[in-house]
Structure 1
């Protein structure tokens, strides 16, 4: 592989071109994955942003965990009827730039490491998923990676303390998605332990406070704004769905996270265990940023388990761990490829396997489009071109079908009463829940005419029923 690229000096000169090609490929994957209509969480984000009316309302009125502020501002700007790709453009752009930042982080250990790391970020199914849906995880990840790059350069003595840059990273990351707090803990802890190793704990405390003081104040300001708006509202802060901690949910969450990071979508716990073992063996591979990896890949998930946090079954909850794992794997395989002999062959085989597995899962996402609720509207349009009445099985489907109809400019009237019977009934379900074979309403019978089952980390399972003559 490396031999085909030419001598090391030539590879270094071609690095910007090769990195740009990887970034373009990652962009293409994300655009291809962003074609279907918005799924449940995206649709509710778009509806909340639209209904609040003003940018100020995004900060003061939507006191909901599904309000990822920068993403909500974007959705409000483009409007409820925006095409899906436009609604997801902020995440697509953020996820694409994150590939370039990851390449820059990796290239600090060599050109091959930079290209390998960028490639893993480009194809990783969890990052393709988060980078192609209208939520705040991709912008948050971009801010986190920028902070990692700044701290890495500062620890190497290349730049003065990047206080202002880190303040922007922490603030914009938290305004994108509050899981940025986990990333802040890992980045600050990494810098603290790195200084401690060099100069002792007193210097570590002093220098860490000097470096991160403005950034932590900026983060506190964002959290204060969110908390203040919630306290000033009548209903306080609302959580759309809260599942208490269970061991089974926790193991599923970290299993999905690890699996979709490397393209092996399994709920088994053995993948997170292998990731932890990889961290422990990292010094043998010559991997750097050891404190960051230990905190992000081992410390963070263990802390979540100890604290018994809620909603732990969602893989996106652990995006910090995914990013750290990809940086670690990118560095280990890149160093192996550059080393030559049996290490090159081993690293090349590992990279090829990860690439094949990841692209297969990316292909599933592209084909499935998270269940694409827009297909339900297309089915109604085919059966009733001039518009239709629709009854919802439950409230969770309201935003999904409303946004899909707005995208397609289809005149749809949603009714609450059983009688007179609506032309169609839309039923949405969470994973594992079943659909009725038929629906009796108002003395009439509805039969299914279209359905979809979401595959991957995100999506809406649904079935559309039509009134029978």
Structure 2
């Protein structure tokens, strides 16, 4: 990459960082706040591994949250994700640079502005560190398959997958896609048995790393009375299709629910060989094989878009190379590729701006509203426990005395009703003869957040 290319990449990194900082404003939402409380209650770094024992515990993120403290400003609590997500743009550029400077810059730009990547990269969860670890593994494998590695990357890969698994266990899906990519590439070149043995040798340290992570989880579960899950939703085709399509929509910047995405994306993978795109084995396994396997296995919790982050990562790498190759081909293909690229950028930036404004349905606005009306502190009723963590963290950050009650008939000046997407809080609330009227409300947009309405008692 020449000097001009580096300057352009620097500008892309600056834009990506700015979008993530802007998206990191506002109060923590449900899952983030829950993680912050768990990290705080764990007490010590060792407690992160032994005392939480919950699937909401993304260990490296929890260690960061414990280090900065529960009262730290939200952008600081989200700092680990901001930094690792921004570094992911650089690694994505390096992956693209193996096919040319143009591919590097287009790929970096897509990762910088993709609403899915900006969202994951600006919230206090483990998805952004996991994504960085997976992208590093992809880069190492790409160099090794091309014969450019001076030594085996087996140890480096094990470190990537170990840290990635301590960030978010869904990196296991990425591991399977990467390992399958290596096996099929070697099988095509050397035959089945040599490919199998070479793949096993390369990933043996990674398997040991995963075993160590699961041993850590098992030790914590034994110490804490078993491993716990937040919720488990049985498989349905409607939830599966919704989860996959929503992740694709926010990866490309157009959150329009349509079966069109479920046709377009497989078509891109099918057309990739004719466009001269590399890493076909990885793209096929990550974009098509992974979600289809979940569907065949009827896995649970398939409605959550972030479950399919691997699909978004692979799709952006594929698009980065495909768009540049079509642009370089000239003629009508150049105009079509340029139009597609500009459309994705425009749609993505619009969603990123909406994230920065909406702030995931910013729960800190409820704290500010109560502070304005009751500066010395307040009693607050909640109708669901899902609101408690975000309110506790928000009150701690603001230094505000807030007594949260769940009892149906407990007297309180304020009441907050939170709802997930698809649900709406009531217009007014009657609670044990007390009338509550709404004073402020927020509706969350994007991949994260919940709707809520704050009510005040009206005598």
TM interval, shorter chain, is: over 0.9
Aligned to 1:393: 383
Pick from 74, 83, 87: which aligns with 1:84? 74
Aligned to 1:161: 152
Alpha-carbon offset, residue 278 of structure 1: 0.6
Paired residues for 1:287-436 under 5 Å: 287-418=277-408, 421-436=411-426
Aligned to 1:264: 254
Alpha-carbon offset, residue 395 of structure 1: 1.1
Alpha-carbon offset, residue 416 of structure 1: 4.0
Aligned to 2:13: 23
Q: Does the alignment pair 1:100 with 2:90?
A: yes
Aligned to 1:202: 193
- The structure-2 alpha-carbon separation of the partners of 1:419 and 1:257, relative to structure 1 and needing over 3 Å to count, comes to closer
Aligned partners of 1:46 and 1:420: how far apart in 2? 27
**CA offsets 1:260-309 (integer angstroms, 9 cap, x no match):** 11011133232032111110110111100000000000000100000111
Instruction: Tell me the secondary structure at the aligned position of residue 396 of structure 1.
Output: helix
Alpha-carbon offset, residue 419 of structure 1: 5.1
Aligned to 2:34: 44
Aligned to 1:225: 216
Larger deviation: 430-439 or 121-130?
A: 430-439
Aligned partners of 1:132 and 1:38: how far apart in 2? 11
Q: Check conservation: 1:251, 1:267, Cα contact below 8 A.
A: no
Aligned to 1:215: 206
**CA offsets 1:22-52 (integer angstroms, 9 cap, x no match):** 1111000000011010000111011111111
Aligned to 1:6: none
Q: Check conservation: 1:255, 1:266, Cα contact below 8 A.
A: no
Q: Check conservation: 2:286, 2:311, Cα contact below 8 A.
A: yes
Instruction: Tell me the secondary structure at the aligned position of residue 371 of structure 1.
Output: coil
Aligned partners of 2:399 and 2:155: how far apart in 1? 45
Aligned partners of 2:327 and 2:67: how far apart in 1? 45
Q: Check conservation: 1:389, 1:424, Cα contact below 8 A.
A: yes
Alpha-carbon offset, residue 418 of structure 1: 4.8
Pick from 188, 191, 201: which aligns with 2:179? 188
Q: Does the alignment pair 1:73 with 2:63?
A: yes
Q: Does the alignment pair 1:116 with 2:96?
A: no
**CA offsets 1:347-404 (integer angstroms, 9 cap, x no match):** 1111011111111111111111100000000000111111111111121111010011
Q: Check conservation: 2:384, 2:406, Cα contact below 8 A.
A: no
Instruction: Tell me the secondary structure at the aligned position of residue 65 of structure 1.
Output: coil
Aligned to 1:243: 233
Aligned partners of 2:424 and 2:98: how far apart in 1? 50
Alpha-carbon offset, residue 420 of structure 1: 5.3
Aligned to 1:437: 427
TM-score with structure 1 setting the length: 0.96
Aligned partners of 1:442 and 1:386: how far apart in 2? 25
Larger deviation: 207-216 or 364-373?
A: 207-216
**CA offsets 1:427-454 (integer angstroms, 9 cap, x no match):** 1111112212222234321111111010
Q: Does the alignment pair 1:273 with 2:226?
A: no
Q: Check conservation: 2:383, 2:406, Cα contact below 8 A.
A: no
Aligned partners of 2:434 and 2:342: how far apart in 1? 56
Superposition RMSD in Å: 1.2
Q: Check conservation: 1:381, 1:387, Cα contact below 8 A.
A: yes
Alpha-carbon offset, residue 232 of structure 1: 3.6
Aligned partners of 1:432 and 1:392: how far apart in 2? 19
Aligned to 1:8: none
TM-score with structure 2 setting the length: 0.98
Pick from 147, 150, 156: which aligns with 2:140? 150
Q: Check conservation: 1:421, 1:442, Cα contact below 8 A.
A: no
Q: Check conservation: 2:51, 2:223, Cα contact below 8 A.
A: no
